[in-house]
C-alpha cells in the first residue's frame, strides 16, 4: 500500500525546463510539470477537466505560462485554473486542474501526494550533498517494474552486495559482517550500520579513491520512509579513525542517495545519486562512478523485476523466512505499514 | 455498453471477394464472411460447431460455396448448415453455424447484431453518395484501440479540429463558432450544425477545391446511433448562399461518412469515407484527400487510444466537465444509453 | 483443472546436466533441477526461502552439490536443506526448500506434483522404446500457449491429421475411417484404435520406410491420463498381417510418444518423441522424421494457441458439438475430471 499524505521525489530539477511540458506518474497519479518563465516548477493534474486528455502529450503546448490542451483547447494557468474554453467566453468556475504542493530542494523536485492541507515543506527529508559545492555528484533514474517495497527491502539489507553485485561493490565482508539496527520512531527514521574493520576494497572504491590495500569500510544507512534513503559510506585505510575534533582527513566519504518513488502499485521510479568529497570535478572519476552505479542499479532492477513477477504468480499467504540481516528491512516495513494505515480510505485521487 | 439489435457496418463490400474467407469481430462476435459464386455476401459464426476452430483461419478453405474446417473437416454451406462431418455419413441436425442477417448497401456490408427476428433492412441508415456516380469517393478503415463511445464523442464535437487537426482541417473559426444542436428522437438522429460565415480555408479544402481566399464553411452533422455518422460539409466563397431553387453552383460539397463499429467493448473499427461533388475522377485530388483524411483519422486514433488507457487506469466515478460544445455529444450519449438499455440482458451471443 | 498427486514429465534427462541449474514450471509450481556430481537428478522449489529469489536464475550458482542464492547467498544442499545464511552462523531449522519426488526413466525426468507421501514410482507409465537399443528415437519439446486439455483433445482424435496435417501425416483415409474406443478404468487408460486396410502412404512414412504403394496403416492410441500418450503406429504393405507367432517382419513400427505436461493452467510443455524399429542409426531418416514431426507439432501448436485465445474471449457456457470421432477424447476428459475431482481443494502449493 502506498502511503498517502507524504512527500515524494517526482523528478530531478534538471528534467523540468522552461517551455516544455513534463508528465510523470507518482503514486498512481498522473502529474503535469512545467517551469514557468520565472523559473518556478508547477505541478497539477495531467488530465484536462473536459475530456481527460493528458496535458503532457502533444499536441498540447505551452504558450508562455499557459498550457493549451491539444484536444479541444482548454487553457490553464500555472495555478491550474482554466482561463479559456472553446466556443464560449464564460469559463465554468469549477474548471480547474488539481494543483500539487511542490518544492525544489537538493536537486530534487518533491511533490506532496494526499491532502494538500497537510503538506508541510519542513518535513521533507534532506540530502544536502547533492547540491553542495563541497561534493561532486553523479545521478540518474532507472524505471523499475516492481513495487517500491521490494526496493526498500533491497536497500535496507546490503548483504546482497556480496552476491548480486560481486565484482562491483560487493566483497565477502559485506555479507559476513553483522549489522546494528536502530529505529527512531519519533523522527521516523530507520538506521542500519555495518562497520567492516578490515575488508577487501571493491573496484567501485579502489578505482575511484586509488586505495589499493585492505580498507576500513563503514555503511551507515539512514532511511526516512517512504521516499528518501541515504547511505553514508566511509572508506579509509585499515585502522584509520575520524579524529576527536570530528575531522576525518584520511577517509573518503561517499553519500549514496536513493529516492524511492512509487509510480504505481507495481512500478517504481528508482532515483540514485552518488556524491563524493574527493577528486572534485574529476571527469574520469565521475564517469566511472556513474557507469558503475548505474550498472549496480540495473542489477537490482533485473532482480526486483523478477521478484515482482514471482509475487504476482504465487499463491496467497506465501511465507518468507527472515534472519538477522533483515532487521532493518523489517523495521522499515513496520514503519511503512503505519504510514499506510494512516492513509484515509477515501484518499483523494 | 454496446447496443444490441442494431445494424453495424462490418466491412466494405470490396473487402469480401469470391473464393476468399474473411473474418471480422463485430460487437464482440466473431463473424465469417465470404462472397458466393453468385456474388452474395454470407455472414455466419466464425467458430466451427465441433471444437470452435475459427473458420476464417488457414488451413480452413472454400471449395466452391462450401467451407471446410481446417481442423477436422466439418463442412458448411453458405446458409451455415453443416453438410459433412468426418468418420460418419450422418450429420447431426443441430450442426449449424449461426447465420447473421447481412445487407450490402452504399458500398458497406451491414450486419445485424442481436435477435435476427428483429432485423429490418429498411431501418439501415443511408449514405448514398458512397455509391453514387455523381460523387467521387475515397475511403478506408483504421483500427482503434478504444471504446466506440470515445469516437462518437470525438466526431460529435468538431471543435477539436482546431487543436488536434490544425494544419489539416482545423482553423481557429471551428473552435470559435458556436453550434446548434437538434435531437430527433423519433427518427433517432442527432443534428449538430456549425455555420462559419467568414473563415480561413484549411489545406484539406484549399488544395482540393482551389479556393484561395476566405470561405463560408458549413458543418452539418447527422448522426444515427449507433453506427452511422454523416458530416455534410459545404465550402464556398464568403457570401455565397444556395439559390432559392435549391441549387448551389458556387459551392463545393463534401460528404464525410464515418461508420463507428465496436469490435469489442474496448476497440473499434473506424470506417471513414470522403465523397465530393467536384473534380470528379481527378486522381490527384483523390490521392490528396485520401492521404489527408487518413492522417486526420490517425491523429484521432492516437488521441483516443491514449484516452482509452487513461480511462482504464483512472478511479471509479471520475467526473468530466462539459460545456456548450458538448451538447451534441451528450445528446448522442443519451440516445446510445437508451439503445443500450433496450438490450436484453440475456442477449444472444 | 490440473490433477494433483500425479507424476508429470518435467524434462528430458539430457536437459539436466551436472553443474548447471535448470528451472521449469510444472503445474504452476516453479521447480529447480540439477544433476549432482553422483549423477542423480534433484528437484526442489525454485524459490529461496528468504526473499523468494528464483534459484535457477543468475547470479545464483552451483558450487559442487550446493546451490548459492544469487541475491543474499542462502546455500542449499541437494536435499533442499539450507546449510548456510549470511551474517550469522546459526541456520534456522525451517530453512528448507520443498523437495519433489523425482524419477529418471525412459529418457524422461518425472516429477510428482502433490503430496509427496502419495508418490509411488511404480505407477509411472512406461515408454520403454525411448531408451531401448532396438529403437532409434528423435524427440523434442515445443511450448504451447494453451491449456493441456486442448492437446489431449487434439491427440485423442487423429481425424485432424487429414485437415491440419495434410501433406505431412494426413491422408483422406484417416478422417474417413471409424475408430473403436475402449476405456480401462482400472488401469486408468483410454484406448483408441483406427485400422486402415488400404490407405495412401503419407510422406512422413513413405520417405522414412521407402514404401511407395498403398499401405495398411494402424493407429493404436494408449493414453494414460494425465501425462503420457502413446501412439503405436504400424505401417505395412496392403494385406500384410502380423504372424501368428507375434512377429511382424513385413511391417514398420513407429512408437510416437507425447508427454503432456501443464506448465500453468493456460500453457503446456508439449514433449514429443518418435521411436522406430527400422533404419536404425540412419541419420538421414532421423533428421527427416525429426523435422517432419516438429513441423506437425508446430501446426498443432498454432491451432491450439488460437483455440486458447478463442476460449478466453468466449462467453460462459459455450456448447461444443461432439460426434463419433470424439469418443476417445470425451473418455479422456471424463477420466481427467475424475483425477481432478480427487484433488484436495487445499492442495499444497
How far away is chain A from the Cα of C59, in angstroms, using its nearest Cα?
Answer: 7
**Based on the number of CB atoms within 10 Å of its own CB, is C213 exposed (0-12), middle (13-18) or buried (19 or more)?**
exposed
Asked if the Cβ–Cβ distance from B163 to A57 is below 8 Å, we say no
- Residue B52 to residue C160, Cβ atoms within 8 A: no
Chain A hits for C53, CB-CB cut-off 8 Å, are: 303, 306-307
* Secondary structure in 3-state letters for chain C: CCCCCEEEEEEEHHHCCECCCEEEEECCEEEEEEECCCCCEEEEECCCCCCCCCCCCCCCEEECCEEECCCCCCEECCCCEEEECCCCCCCCCCCECCECCEEEECCEEEEEECCHHHCCHHHCCCCHHHHCCCCEEEEEEEEECCCHHHHHHHHHCCCHHHHHCECCCECHHHHHCCCEEEEECCCCEEEEEEEEEEECCCHHHHHHHCCCCCEEEEEEEEEECCCEEEEEEEEEECCCCCCCCCCCCCCEEEEEEEEEEEEECCEEEEEEEEEECCCCCCHHHHHHHHHHHHHHHHHHHHHHHHHHHHHHHCCCCCCCCCCHHHHHHHHHHHHHHHHHHCCCCCCCC
The yes-or-no verdict on residue C30 having pLDDT over 70 is: yes
Domain A6-122, CATH homologous superfamily name and number: Rieske [2Fe-2S] iron-sulphur domain (2.102.10.10)
Indicate the pLDDT class of residue A347, thresholds 50, 70 and 90.
Answer: very low
Mean pLDDT in residue range A2-25: 97
State whether residue A55 is helix, strand or coil.
coil
Share of chain A above pLDDT 90, in %: 95
Contact B136, B279 (CB under 8 A): yes
Q: Give me the DSSP letters along B61-88.
A: EEETTEEE-TTT--EE-TTSBEEEBTTB
A55 touches chain B (CB under 8 A): no
pLDDT at A343: 65
CB contact at 8 A, C261 and C10: yes
Region C192-217 average pLDDT: 96
- The answer to whether the Cα torsion of C160, C163, C169, C175 is positive or negative is positive
Structure-model confidence comparison of residues C50 and C281, the more confident one: C50
Structure confidence at residue C342 as a pLDDT band (50, 70, 90): confident
Measured between alpha carbons, how far is residue B41 from residues B18, B29, B69 in Å?
9, 17, 19
Q: How many CA atoms lie within 13 A of B184 on its CB side?
A: 11
A72 touches B: beta carbon within 8 Å: yes
pLDDT at A267: 98
Average pLDDT for C68-76: 98
Q: What is the pLDDT of residue A344?
A: 60
Q: CB B246: neighbour CB atoms within 10 A?
A: 6
Q: Are strands B267-276 and B252-264 parallel, antiparallel or unpaired?
A: antiparallel
| pLDDT value for C347 | 42
- Please say whether the beta carbons of A255 and A233 come within 8 A: yes
- For residue C49, give the nearest of A303, A310, A321 by CB distance: A321
What's the mean pLDDT when you consider all of chain A?
96
Mean per-residue pLDDT, A200-227 = 97
- pLDDT of A348 > 70? The answer is no
**Each residue's pLDDT tens digit in chain B (349 positions)?**
899 999 999 999 999 999 999 999 999 999 999 999 999 999 999 999 999 999 999 999 999 999 999 999 999 999 999 999 999 999 999 999 999 999 999 999 999 999 999 999 999 999 999 999 999 999 999 999 999 999 999 999 999 999 999 999 999 999 999 999 999 999 999 999 999 999 999 999 999 999 989 999 999 999 999 999 999 999 999 999 999 999 999 999 999 999 999 999 999 999 999 999 999 989 999 999 999 999 999 999 999 999 999 999 998 899 999 999 999 999 999 999 999 987 665 444 3
Beta-carbon count within 10 A of C272 CB: 22
Please choose, from the candidates C142, C171, C190, C183, the residue with its C-alpha nearest in 3D space to the C-alpha of residue C299: C142
ipTM for this prediction: 0.94
3-state secondary structure at position A194: strand
The neighbours of chain B, by the rule of 3 or more Cβ pairs under 8 Å, are A, C
Q: What is the pLDDT of residues A324-334, one digit of tens each?
A: 999 999 999 99
- CB contacts of C26 in chain A (<8 Å) are none
Set of chain A residues whose Cβ sits within 8 Å of the Cβ of C50: 320-323
pLDDT of residue A346: 46
Contacts of C153 in chain B (CB under 8 A): 51
Give C332's pLDDT tier (boundaries 50, 70, 90): very high
Distance CA C84, CA B28 (A): 56
> Is the Cβ of B330 closer than 8 Å to some Cβ of chain A?
no
Q: Contact partners of A by the rule of 3+ C-beta pairs under 8 A?
A: B, C
Which of A178, A306, A325 comes nearest C54 by C-beta? A306
End-to-end CA distance of chain A: 14
Interface test with A, best of C31, C60, C62, C72 (most A CBs within 10 A): C72
Contacts of C314 in chain B (CB under 8 A): 47, 52
Eight-state DSSP code of residue A202: P
Alpha-carbon gap, residue A32 to A45, rounded angstroms: 6
- Per the CB < 8 A criterion, the answer to whether C95 and C82 are in contact is yes
First-to-last alpha carbon distance for chain C, in angstroms, is 14
CATH number given to A128-341: 3.90.380.10
How many other C-beta atoms lie within 10 A of the C-beta of residue A172? 13
Q: How far apart are CA C249 and CA C255, in angstroms?
A: 16
Domain(s) labelled CATH 2.102.10.10 in chain A stretch across: 6-122
Please compute the mean of the pLDDT values over residues A112-119 and round it to a whole number: 97
Nearby residues of C17 by Cβ (< 8 Å), 6 or more positions away: C35
Digit-coded pLDDT (tens) for C162-185: 999 999 999 999 999 999 999 999
Flag whether residue A219 sits within 8 Å of chain C, measured between CB atoms. no
Residue of B nearest to A72 (CA): B160
pLDDT computed for residue C315 by the predictor: 87
d(CA A196, CA C280): 66
Q: Is the peptide bond before C226 cis (omega within 30 degrees of 0)?
A: yes
pLDDT in tens, A125-158: 999 999 999 999 999 999 999 999 999 999 999 9
Which helix (H) or strand (E) segment holds residue A164: the answer is helix A160-164
What is the per-residue pLDDT for B315? Answer: 87
**Has this prediction a pTM greater than 0.90?**
yes
- The per-residue pLDDT for C349 is 39
In whole angstroms, what is the distance from residue B25 CA to residue A219 CA? 60
State whether residue B349 sits within 8 Å of chain C by CB.
Answer: yes
As a whole number of angstroms, the distance between CA C12 and CA C35 comes to: 12
Every domain range in chain A assigned CATH 3.90.380.10: 128-341
Q: Could you tell me which residues come within 8 angstroms of residue A48 by beta carbon, excluding any fewer than 6 positions away?
A: A54, A55, A69, A71, A72, A74, A97
> What's the rounded Cα separation, in Å, for the pair C307 and C145?
10
Q: Is C321 exposed, middle or buried (0-12, 13-18, 19+ CB in 10 A)?
A: middle
DSSP secondary structure of B21-35:
-EEEEETTEEEEEEE
Task: Give the pLDDT confidence score for residue B236 in this predicted structure.
Answer: 97
Provide mean pLDDT across the span C62-73. 97
Q: Do C163 and B54 make contact, defined as CB atoms within 8 angstroms?
A: no
The residue in chain B having the minimum alpha-carbon distance to the alpha carbon of residue A94 is B321
- A87 lies within 8 A of chain B by CB: yes
All cell numbers assigned to C236: 505395412
**Is some CB atom of chain C closer than 8 A to the CB atom of A316?**
no
CB contact under 8 A, C163 and B70: yes
> SS3 for A312-336, per residue?
HHCCCCCCCCCCHHHHHHHHHHHHH
Residue of C268, C161, C164, C166 lying closest to C219 (CA atoms): C161
C162 and B349: CB-CB below 8 Å? no
Beta strand residue intervals within A164-250, DSSP E = 180-184, 189-199, 215-224, 228-237
Mutation test of the interface with chain A: which of B301, B321, B326, B329, choosing the one with the most A Cβ atoms within 10 A?
A: B321
Tell which C residues from 112 to 171 touch B, by Cβ distance under 8 Å.
Answer: 153, 157, 159-160, 162-164, 166
CA B282 – CA B275 distance, rounded (Å): 12
Amino acid at each position: 500500500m502506498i502511503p498517502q499524505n507524504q512527500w515524494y521525489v517526482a523528478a530531478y530539477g534538471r528534467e523540468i525546463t522552461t517551455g516544455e511540458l513534463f508528465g510523470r506518474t507518482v503514486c498512481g497519479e498522473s502529474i503535469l510539470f512545467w517551469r514557468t518563465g520565472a523559473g518556478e516548477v508547477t505541478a497539477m493534474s495531467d488530465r484536462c477537466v473536459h475530456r481527460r486528455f493528458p496535458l503532457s502529450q502533444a499536441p498540447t503546448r505551452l504558450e508562455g505560462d499557459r498550457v493549451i490542451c491539444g484536444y479541444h483547447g482548454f487553457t490553464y494557468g500555472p495555478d491550474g485554473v482554466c482561463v479559456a474554453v472553446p466556443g464560449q467566453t464564460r469559463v465554468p468556475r469549477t474548471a480547474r486542474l488539481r494543483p500539487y504542493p511542490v518544492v525544489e530542494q537538493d536537486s530534487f523536485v518533491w511533490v506532496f501526494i494526499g491532502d494538500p492541507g497537510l503538506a508541510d515543506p519542513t518535513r521533507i527529508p534532506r540530502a544536502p550533498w547533492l547540491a553542495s559545492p563541497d561534493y561532486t555528484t553523479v545521478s540518474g533514474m532507472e524505471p523499475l517494474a516492481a513495487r517500491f517495497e521490494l526496493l526498500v527491502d533491497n536497500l535496507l539489507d546490503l548483504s546482497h552486495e556480496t552476491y548480486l553485485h560481486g565484482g562491483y561493490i560487493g566483497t565477502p565482508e559485506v555479507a559476513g559482517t553483522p549489522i546494528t539496527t536502530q529505529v527512531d520512531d519519533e523522527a521516523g527514521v530507520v538506521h542500519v550500520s555495518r562497520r567492516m574493520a578490515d575488508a577487501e576494497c571493491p573496484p567501485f572504491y579502489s578505482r575511484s579513491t586509488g586505495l589499493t590495500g585492505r580498507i576500513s569500510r563503514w555503511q551507515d544507512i539512514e532511511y526516512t520512509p517512504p521516499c528518501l534513503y541515504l547511505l553514508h559510506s566511509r572508506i579509509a585505510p585499515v585502522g584509520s579513525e575520524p579524529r576527536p575534533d570530528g575531522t576525518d582527513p584520511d577517509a573518503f566519504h561517499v553519500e549514496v542517495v536513493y529516492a524511492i518513488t512509487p509510480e504505481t502499485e507495481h512500478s517504481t521510479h528508482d532515483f540514485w545519486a552518488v556524491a563524493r568529497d574527493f577528486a572534485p570535478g574529476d571527469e574520469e572519476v565521475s564517469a566511472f562512478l556513474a557507469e558503475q552505479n548505474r550498472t549496480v542499479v540495473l542489477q537490482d532492477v533485473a532482480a526486483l523485476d523478477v521478484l515482482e513477477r514471482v509475487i504476482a504468480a504465487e499463491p496467497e499467504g506465501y511465507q518468507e523466512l527472515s534472519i538477522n540481516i533483515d532487521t532493518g528491512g523489517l523495521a522499515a516495513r513496520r514503519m511503512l505499514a503505519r504510514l499506510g494505515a494512516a492513509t484515509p480510505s477515501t484518499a483523494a485521487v
